[in-house]
Structure 1
Amino acid sequence: MKILQCWDDGVVSDARLVDLLRRHGAKATFSLNPGLYQNNRSFGWLSEGREIWRLGLQELPAVYQGFEICSHSMTHPYLTDLDGSRLDWEIRASRDLLEQLFSRPVTGFCYPFNAYNDPVLSAVRSAGYHWGRGKREGLHRFPPVDPLEFSPTCRVLDPEFWRKYEGAKKTGGGFFFWGHSYELSTEALWDDFERRIERISSDGDTEWSFIGDLFEPPLMPI
């Protein structure tokens, strides 16, 4: 069974996350907003009273070396509220900047807030992306009918995580989870997450995969 994971927003705690994933040979995709980074680490927002900081622009290639990168738009708006040149800029310029920064093609798109509609879908398709991660009720299929409407199985902290994992194994499909590393807000949550990665990596019936590998000839990781 293919195992996919996708992490959003390029925050400082991703540095700890990628070290953990490397220890266990786990592949992952990271969705980034290049229009929001500064040269040095910068404050992003508050989450449950905690400050969430973004990584610095210049450190991104080193932090994510060996992992897949996709666009999460330039500035993380609700794309469903946009149209015309602003929508096109969020979708196309973000890819162009990420490709310049990482010196490789960026072929996937993650819809901010997992929100999209037909005009957004059309704009992403027109821009030439190979796949898109979003969520619409009833659309979870593995692989998806339309690669631009790839709905994950669950979030990383879903209390039904293991039930859904075992269910995916029984159906012979794949298992796709997503989240933000800042959600791992305590040492207990980090420890529990590492045990999950260890369990998946040691499962002989599973294989870690980059999302893009499902929809195109495999590319060398960054």
Structure 2
Amino acid sequence: MKVVQSWDDGVVDDIRLADLLRRHQASATFNLNPGLHHAGRSFSWRYGDKEVWRLSRDELIEIYAGFEIANHSLNHPNLPDLSPTDLRREVQDSRRILQEWFRQPVRGFCYPFGGFNPAVKEAVRAAGHVYARTVTECEPILPLTDPFEFGVSCRFVDPSFWTRYEHAKASDGVFCFWGHSYELVDEAMWAELEDKIARIGADPAAEWASIEALF
């Protein structure tokens, strides 16, 4: 069974997350919005009592070294609401910028807010991506009828995480979980995530993979 994980938004908590994943030699995909990263770290919003900050532009290369980088649009709008011109800009310009920054191909896309329609899917495909991740939960994940509707097994905090993991393992399929590192609001949640990563890494039936490797 292949296990993939996908993390959105490029926030400061990704520093700790990336270090955790490296300790356990776990692959991951990070979905970034290049239009929202500036010369310094920038405050974005509050998640409950927690302030969520975006990473600075100059931090990105080092923090995400060795991980798959996917496009999450330029500025994280709800893409179905955009005009055709703005849609192309959000999808095409962001991919170009990410490839310039990271000096590597960016083949994947992640729909902001999970929002898409046929026009959005076509814009993502036309910009050169080979897949697009949704927030739609499905079982099994593969085979896909449409690579621009790549579904997920569950969120990383889902109470049924291990049940869905075992279902995917029973069919030697793909298990995909996703989330945002800013959702980790206390040490107990960080410890629980690390336990999940460690248990998956110790499972001889599981193999970490990037999403793009599935395509």
TM-score > 0.5, shorter chain as reference? yes
| SS of aligned partner of 1:7 | strand
Name the structure where strand makes up a greater proportion of residues.
Answer: 2
Report if aligned partners of 2:92, 2:127 keep a CA contact under 8 Å in 1.
yes
The 4+ residue runs of structure 1 with deviation greater than 3 A are 135-140
Matched residue pairs, number? 215
The aligned amino acid for 2:25 is: G
User: Residues 143 and 174 of structure 1 are in contact (CA less than 8 Å); yes or no, is this contact kept in structure 2?
Assistant: no
Q: Secondary structure at the match of 1:135?
A: strand
For 1:47, the aligned partner's letter is: Y
Instruction: Indicate the SS of the match to 2:123.
Output: helix
Render the CA deviation track for 1:149-206: whole Å, top value 9, x for unaligned: 1011100100100000001111221100000001111100000110100000000000
Q: Are the counterparts in 1 of residues 5 and 28 from structure 2 also a CA contact under 8 Å?
A: yes
CA distance in structure 2 between the partners assigned to 1:59 and 1:182 by the alignment: 17
Q: Which residue of 1 aligns with 2:39?
A: 39
Structure 1 CA distance, aligned partners of 2:100 and 2:9? 18
SS of corresponding position for 1:134: strand
Counterparts of residues 109-124 of structure 1 (less than 5 Å): 109-124=109-124
Q: Does 1:186 align with 2:186?
A: yes
Query: What corresponds to 2:6 in structure 1?
Result: 6
Offset, 1:127: 1.3
Contact in 1 for aligned 2:3/2:174 (Cα 8 Å): yes
Counterpart-to-counterpart distance in 1, 2:138 and 2:63: 35
Q: Distance in 1 between matches of 2:208 and 2:143?
A: 15
Whether the 8 Å CA contact 2:32–2:69 is kept in 1: the answer is: yes
| Counterpart for residue 220 of structure 1 | none
* Greater mean alpha carbon deviation, residues 169-178 or residues 64-73: 169-178
| Alignment check: 8 A CA contact 2:6 2:30 kept | yes
Equivalent position of 2:168 in the other structure: 168
Q: How do 1:87-102 and structure 2 match up within 5 A?
A: 87-102=87-102
Identity of matched residues, %: 51
| Structure 1: tracts of 5 or more residues without a match | 216-222
SS of equivalent residue, structure 2 residue 151: coil
- Post-superposition CA distance 1:76-117 (Å, at most 9, x none): 000011131100000000001101100111111000011111
Which 5+ residue runs of structure 2 have no aligned equivalent?
none
Counterparts of 1:145-160 in structure 2 under 5 Å?
145-160=145-160
How far apart are 1:135 and its partner, in Å?
3.3
TM-score where L is the length of structure 2: 0.97
Look up the match of 1:196: 196
In the alignment, residue 35 of structure 1 is paired with which amino acid? G
Letter in 2 for 1:39: A
CA RMSD between the two structures? 1.2
**Superposition TM-score, scaled by structure 1 size:** 0.94
